[in-house]
Amino acid sequence: MMQTFTPTRTPPALPGASLLGLKATTLLDLGDAVHDGFDPVTLERLANHLGLSLGDTLDLIGLSPSTYHSHRRQNRPIKPEVSASLYHLARVTEAAEHYFGNTKAAHTWLQTPRVTFGSRTPLQFALLPGGAEYVTTVLSRLEHGVHT
């Protein structure tokens, strides 16, 4: 007789997924969403949440305005690499908001250059290979009283 596992609770969304409007609860879901490419509106949602202009957000992720607007007009998803960058930004944003407990303070911290990040902002650093992991590690250390 074969038994079927029925979960008793819904797993929480992955860190940063809710800021992007994703329903991903597993890394497989997230990987599929990134691979398929996010809707261009996802970029606008994150920019608005962070209080950044669309132009500043496009500069941050290295996407030209013409490419973005072309995708938006044609209702095409943005490239997987850009989608991955947006996820990294959302992940560090959520971690900072959790640490500070204040959205405005978190966003100010994320947008201010820090020596810890080579005089880059945490948002800029998050886009480097392994950068998002390091930014969340720094926030975790701060939360535990380790000056970084």
- Could you read off the pLDDT of 66-79 as tens digits, one per residue? 999 999 999 999 99
Mean pLDDT of 46-58: 96
Q: Please check whether residue 61 lies inside any domain of the structure.
A: yes
Q: Please check whether residue 1 lies inside any domain of the structure.
A: no
Q: Which two tokens stand for residue 16?
A: 């940063």
Q: Which two tokens stand for residue 68?
A: 């973005």
Domain range for 63 is 25-143
pTM: 0.87
Tally the domains of the chain.
1
Q: Please check whether residue 60 lies inside any domain of the structure.
A: yes
Q: Please check whether residue 15 lies inside any domain of the structure.
A: no
Query: Per-residue pLDDT tens for 85-117?
Result: 999 999 999 999 999 999 999 999 999 999 999
Taking alpha carbons only, the member of 23, 91, 51 closest to residue 99 is 91
Buried b (16+ CB within 10 A) or exposed e, 113-122: ebebbeebbb
Q: Please check whether residue 6 lies inside any domain of the structure.
A: no
Q: Which two tokens stand for residue 60?
A: 């941050």
Q: Is 120 helix (H, G, I), strand (E, B) or coil?
A: strand
Would you state the pLDDT for residue 51? 95
